[in-house]
Structure formats: C-alpha cells, structure tokens
Structure 1
Amino acid sequence: MSHKHHSISIHFAQAVVKAALQQGLNEQQLLHDAGLSKALLHNNEVRITPQQLSRLMQSVWRHADDEYLCLGSQPSRHGVFSMMAKQVLPSGNLRQVYRRGSRFYNLVAAATDLHFEESENGARFYLKLADPELDPDHTLVDFLLLLWHRFPSWLIGQKIPLTKICFKHEKPAHFEEYRLMFPCEAVYGQAENYFEFDREILNAPVIQTQQNLSAYLRRCPLDWFQRQSYYPVYTRKVMDYLENAENMADSSMEGVASQIHTTTRTLRRKLLDEGTSFQELKDGVRRDEAIHYLSQPDVPISQIARLLGFTEAAAFTRAFKHWTGISPSMYRKSKE
C-alpha cells in the first residue's frame, strides 16, 4: 500500500467562506458544493481533503465571479486564469511564462501587482496586493504564490526548486501548512511577498500542449494542492518510508533506521533536533489517510482501522479523536 494522500487545514476553508459571506454568498450552497458541513467548518482541529478545498474554491469562483475569492480590492473575473494560461502556453521557456503571465495580470487584475525579475544571483517572482487589509488571514497571498509556483512548474514538466519564499506578514498560526505548500524555507516579516529560485531553470522549455491544458483547467485548482512538501533531511527520510510502507502496522523506528543505514538512537536524536518524532510523523500520515478514507462512504470504519495498522476499531477511534477532536463516525456524519 502506498500512503500518499494528505489533508489540508480547515483554516483555508474558514477564510474562504468568511470572505464569501461578507460578499453575500450563500453559505449552505458553498458547503454543499464542497462536501463540507458547518460542524466541520467550525472545528479548528479538523483537516479536509484537497478535493473539498478545490470544490469550495470552484464554488466561490462561480457564485462570486471572482477568482480572487472576494479577498482583493477588485474581483478577478472567473475565466481570467484560463485566458492567461492560454496566452502563456506558446511561450518558449519558463522565463517567457513569468514575463507574459505577469504582464497579462497587471493589465486585467487591478487588485494585484505581479513582478518578475532576473539577476546574476537568481530569479524572483513578487506579489503585491493593492489592499492587503482585505486579506487579513493572508489567504489570497498564500493561494496566488502557490499558483505561480505550481502552474509554471506544470508547464515545464518539472518542479521549480525554490530556494526561499518570503512573506510580508509575520509568522501566522497556520505556518505549519507552508511546508506542505512551498518546498523551501519560509521567512516572515519581509518587505515584499516573493519567492526565489535558481535562474538556470528559466531556460526550461514549455512542454505542455493545448489538449493537456484543457484537462488541467478542468481540474483547477485541485492540482495546485498536490503535496510538494518541504521537510528537513531526516524528517523527509522518515516520511518517504511511511508513505511507501506496504503495511502501516509493521512500520517502525527500527525499520526506517535500517533502511537509511543508521541506528535508532541516532535517528531519534536527529528527529528531535528537527523538532519532531517518529510517532508524530506516523500519526500525521495515518491521520491524513484516515481523512481520505472517511471521505469514501463505502469504506467501513473497521476496514480503515485495519488499513492504518490498528488492531481494533476502538483504538482507531481514540486516536482519530485525539488527532481531530471528533470521532471517525462523527467526522463522516458531519459531511453528509
């Protein structure tokens, strides 16, 4: 079994819904479209699937006619991203993608100012909001920086290796999500919002076709939420081991230590230095898998417990309640 599903903090759904409600959108309709409920939305410990967040954003795009999620000084009409994508597709390389894409949005979307620059030391993509006060939870900044990393990466068929991402805001409560969103170091309280990367990749050619783009646009924004996690060295090694484990019940500290040719004592110390532990990482993987399976109503809770390495459903229920604050049955029921 390969454990590659992941979950997303409810924080983002809460911020999107809050902004939508301030513009008069129907909360019940938005939650129905996303497969969410008020019970889930109001539980700060809950995590949701990428599919749920994607459907929520699509609903806001349609009902508000605003791809900036009601968080900008002016809306970016639904369809603007699609138009931009079609404009940059004929670009010869990544450099042209960033130049053309920035120019396009600066012409049609007054709520943002995008700027791309290249120097001997690297390349940077800057994002400035016309009215950042309208984005109090930094949700629009988060999503747009994510978009401008993930979409160009898709166009050239390889992940753009970021060296750093900088935010004007101070370290937020949801900062742990950034290591799942941006595969690099995050720095806060900076003069500008931007990410930087090695300029050599700017010569990478665009490899996607019009047919591929059409399929990509139908999936948006789901592809932006696929994990490109940034973890320290030993944390990443343990995550790789856990996510590819054939049997979660048999995964152990000894197993991963043997695989990476070190001792359990050394591995434990390295993880502690990186601010985590084997059990914490294992619980995170099992939590995300549980949320994925619970979103599939045909998979019994007892089977989910076995898949995740629990000897009995009661033990899984206790663990899930510890992770999220509610039981698996309540989580599943609250989505109905």
Structure 2
Amino acid sequence: MQGSNASFGRFRNLGALPDLLGQALGQKGLDQVFRTRNVSPEQARKLDGVLLMRDLFALFHHASIATGIRSIGLEAARSRTIHDLGLYGRHISQAPILIDALHRSNSALRYHSSGNILTVHVDKNELSIRYRSTLENLNGWRHMGDFSLYMFRSLAACYLGDAFSPLRIETSCEDPAALQDLEEYFDAPAIGGHDWHSIVLPRDVSHAPLLSPPKPDEIVQLDDLNRLGRTLPDSFEKVVEAIIDLRLNDGASDIEGVAQTLGLGPRSLQRRITEHGLTYRQLLQRRRMHRASNLLANPSLTIQQIGHKAGYADTAQFTRAFKDSVGITPSDFREMYRRLSPPEESRPDSRLLVGI
C-alpha cells in the first residue's frame, strides 16, 4: 500500500499542534479543526495511535489557516525534541555516532510511519538527510516537512550540541516568506525548489559521538520497535480495517466511504476484499467487536454508549451482534473481565480475553 492514500502516520507527528490550537482558539476552536478530519482531541492524546497521513497533513493545513501561523509545522516542533517521537525517536538518538543515527532513522522509519521516504546522502564535503512523502502534493505537506526537519535538527543536536547550525536547509517549498521562516528557525540558508526536505551538515561531523549515552534500562531495542510497528497496517486487509476504525470514530461504517478513502469504487473494494477470502461486512463486524471489547473494559461507559461507539443503532442490536460473535452478552463479558482482571497497573488488553 506504499504510495497510496492509505499511508499512515502517528499523532506524535502533530507535535505541539493541539496546544497551539488550544492557546489560539480555545477548546471549541481546537475541536472544530480536528473535526475537519473526523478526529477527536481524545484520539490525539493517544500519541502512538495511527491516522491517515493525508489527514495529518490536512490538520496542519487547517490549523495554519485557523491560527494565522504561517509556518505552523515549525511552531509545533519548537517545544519538542527527537525523544518526543516515542520509541522511534529514542531508538535513533541512541546510536553511538551521528552517521549511525541517520542510518537508523532510515531503517527504522517503517515502524513509525508509512508512505514516507528517508535517505542519507554523503558526498565529498556534505552529509544530508532527505525526507519526502509520496503524498507531498497534498495541502499541509510543507508543514509536516518543516516539522520533520526540526526533529532531525534535534537528532543532530544529540551529537553536536544545541548551538550548532546546519550548512543549509533544502525544501520543495518556494514561497519566500516560508523560506525566510526556515532561515530564522535554523540559522542557515534555506533553498527552495528541491524534490525533498533536507538538512545539510558538514561531512566531518558524521562521526561525532553521542553526547549523553542512555542508561542501560533506557535503551530501545529493535524488538520494541517491532511491537510498535505492528500497529501500522502492512497489508490490504489491515489497511481496510484501520480505515474502518478511523471512520467508526465518527459513527460511519459504509463501504462507500472506505472505498473513497482508498481511491476505489465500492465494487472494486469488495472484489479486493473477496480476494482475501473475506467480505466487507466481516471486516466491519470484526472491527466493531474489537472496539466494543476494549470499551467494555471501561466501567464508566454504559452498554448503550459502547454500542453506539461501535456503530450500532440500539442496544438490542449491539447485544445480539456481540453475543453472536463472542458467545456471551456485553454485560456478561464486562463482568467476566472485572472478575479476571489483575490490578490496574498490570491489567492486560481486553483483546486477550476474547481473541478478536
């Protein structure tokens, strides 16, 4: 699915964007911007949660318009560091020397997001990391590209110190005002008209050592990234399921909307799903039950509320569907979960109980 509209990012890549919106527009304005992409602020607080990359770009775009902040990607990155990218950021910033960190950035990116291309270039005098997206023609890409550049500057600072300046910034943007913002933020020339976003460093810093090595219990291993990477869809079936999940957040479950997201017609989508031995209805039911089983672990939600959040019109319909799929009623499942659950700090994911 690389290169399609079904590329995925994480809410971590919004950086301080929700804070900026809240400060400029208040909670109501924040909600309105997020609702343009059917995303709730509650979802955004789940930092490793996934969203469509095109929606991530669009949130930056709408936020820039709503706040009047011209280079909002840079502002969203200003108060963040590479470690705020979670396991991915911590893993790449723990390499012993800078060039290894840049190579880690490339090889580990697939665990963090999809639909992006990151390459490291070394020539006679320069070292650069180039970042592209397969969706960079969409509104908001510039802001996401700016945010990413700032994160890579933060990565380099782990080896070169906070006071360093790159040789230059290269960007696909050609707007003079945006280029001026880049020059001010990076204290370096910004050159537009490229096919990528890049931060360029002198080659002789490539073997600069990590200034503050991590403690043994803070080291992020590839196994940790593997577990994180499993939350990113890596097959057509999982892509469809992820889109169903995102649309269920807004109460939508129709196949037409999922097909439109993928740039397909409903019949074409159903045919692709059938090739995997499934139907759209089966995938939808699977995701509804997955969602419901997790929500039932929350005692503050009523069965009626959970049924609605899982996309059912009434409680009776939800109860019948849940019992048909799981074998017991939602109330019985909740009671079983309550009895079997260990203390809060070691409680497992409810999915382990139902095998969904």
TM-score category by the smaller chain?
Answer: 0.3 to 0.5
- Give the greater-gyration-radius structure (CA): 2
TM-score by length of 1: 0.42
TM-score by length of 2: 0.40
